[in-house]
Amino acid sequence: MTTPADAPGDILILSNGPGEISTWVRPVVKALRSHHPDTSQIRISVVLSPCANASGREAEMARGLPGVDRIQGPEHFFSFLLSGKTAENWDWHPHGVVLFLGGDQIYPVVIGKRLGYRTVIYAEWDARWHRWINRFGCMTANIVEAAPDEFRGKCEVIGDLMADVQGDGDTQSVRDGLNLKPGYDLVGFMPGSKKNKLSVGLPFALAAAEAIHRLRPQTQFVIPVAPMLSLEALAQFADAAHNPDIRLVEGATTAELVEPDAALPRLRTPSGVEVLLWQGTPAYDVMGQMQFCLTTVGANTAELGSLGIPMMVLLATQKLEAMKAWDGVPGLLANLPLVGDGFAKLINRLVLRQIYKEGRLFAWPNIWAKREVVPERIGPITPKTVAAEVVEYLANPDALKAMREDLRSVRGAAGASAKLAAMVLEELRLSHSSDTSD
């Protein structure tokens, strides 16, 4: 008879979007493997569900995570949910835990029951299905307090997984790779990973780089290239022959892809301004070298915030139909074939009107703090006006220092991934114990 100490077990992680994989799955898998590096004892599988914010490359991202044994992409999710069988007909150990790290909280209920596994949910904003879930790792105490009295014992405050975002610490090699000049500032751009954002976001970034360079020549620029986005595909968004949306950006410029033999690839504008392209992933080390970053909305604002990097969050509305990542019925309508763009324009006009009225916040640090820790610029913004603001920040070290300190105070203490991993491993031991005690 096996004992809980030597019996193998499965940990099945349910997740969905690129942000969840980078900021939730990655640190939790790392924490799990720090306790159980032996894959013959603890096998970690990741099953992805469809996500409105997905790039289509999430499975490849997950395959690149050290410590993950098996991956199933979102195209097979609902078949797995209904039948309990994966596309590759995976085998399962008798004992295991289903860990929810993104998607719909009903999924671990269904899959846990089907596999006979215990279940753990990371609850970022709320916790559901208390009766059928074994444990909840909650980001804040509010989630515990909102639980029915009889189920509060299942809930534990562990903090924010995104606070565990960190680089590997080899800053000198990063600086060498960037060839940062003494006394120069590094400004980063994170314009997105999908066509809907890049078609406007990349031309906007290049125009902003030129405008910043004119005002402050002692500035260098870098784009951490999204995982699985090829340089050739990225460069097409800087080419008017492939991207007609360049004309929507005031002062927009084109750029060519340059790939030197012994240096980082870069996009070079006709005036000679260069934006380096950093392909390492995760890009936390290069992000950590930025004095400032211009970023679109998304999980990248949480990553930058957790690293304490001053930023400005941009939501340019020059192309309203590009904004399609809404939840529920609006998201479904905006993504319909043929007619989706029309619905998206209408929905976004209504949403933006409501945003201005209610003062809604988009950047994760601002959402955490319930106030504007970092500036958000929404609407028909221009690269020239944004560049002037960036230069003003760069010329004011005290303002940058204050923003960094504010970001660090908002993000909270690190350690949530270790606490969640400990919770999962405890549930795995309980699954063995309940069997051996029978």
Q: Per residue in 152-169, pLDDT tens? A: 999 999 998 988 877 655
Return the SS3 of 146: helix
Which of the pair, 43 or 261, is modelled with greater confidence? 43
pTM check: above 0.85: no
Express the helix, strand and coil content of the chain in percent, nearest 5 each. 45, 15, 40
DSSP code per residue over 336-365:
STTTHHHHHHHHHHHHHHHHHHHT---SHH
Percent of the chain with pLDDT over 70: 87
The band of 326, judged by pLDDT with boundaries at 50, 70 and 90, is very low
Chain region(s) in the chain for CATH 3.40.50.2000: 9-165+414-436, 171-411
At 358 the pLDDT is 55
The band of 434, judged by pLDDT with boundaries at 50, 70 and 90, is low
Q: What is the pLDDT of residues 279-291, one digit of tens each?
A: 987 788 899 999 9
**pLDDT at residue 431 is higher than 70:** yes
The band of 334, judged by pLDDT with boundaries at 50, 70 and 90, is very low
Q: What is the pLDDT of residues 7-34, one digit of tens each?
A: 789 999 999 988 899 889 999 999 999 9
Tokens of 324: 């399609």
Query: Which of 8-17, 253-262, 311-320 comes out lowest in average pLDDT?
Result: 311-320
**pLDDT at residue 436 is higher than 70:** no
Residue 330 burial (CB count, 10 A) = 18
**pLDDT at residue 252 is higher than 70:** yes
Residue 184 burial (CB count, 10 A) = 15
Which of the pair, 264 or 228, is modelled with greater confidence? 264
Q: Hey, what CATH topology would domain 171-411 get?
A: Rossmann fold (3.40.50)
At 22 the pLDDT is 86
Architecture of the structural domain at 9-165+414-436: 3-Layer(aba) Sandwich (3.40)
The band of 295, judged by pLDDT with boundaries at 50, 70 and 90, is very high
At 413 the pLDDT is 77
Helix axes 416-436, 26-35, angle to 10 degrees: 50
**pLDDT at residue 329 is higher than 60:** no
DSSP code per residue over 63-119:
HTSTT--EEE-GGGHHHHHHHS--TT-----SSEEEEE-SS-THHHHHHHHHHT-EE
At 407 the pLDDT is 92
Tokens of 87: 């596309």
Which of the listed ranges 96-100, 280-284, 324-328 does the model predict with the highest average pLDDT? 96-100
At 377 the pLDDT is 92
At 347 the pLDDT is 45
At 257 the pLDDT is 97
Query: Which of 61-65, 119-123, 394-398 comes out lowest in average pLDDT?
Result: 61-65
Return the SS3 of 9: strand
Mean pLDDT of 374-381: 88
The residue among 21, 88, 91 whose CA lies nearest residue 49 is: 21
At 258 the pLDDT is 97
How far is 299 from 61, CA to CA, in rounded Å? 15
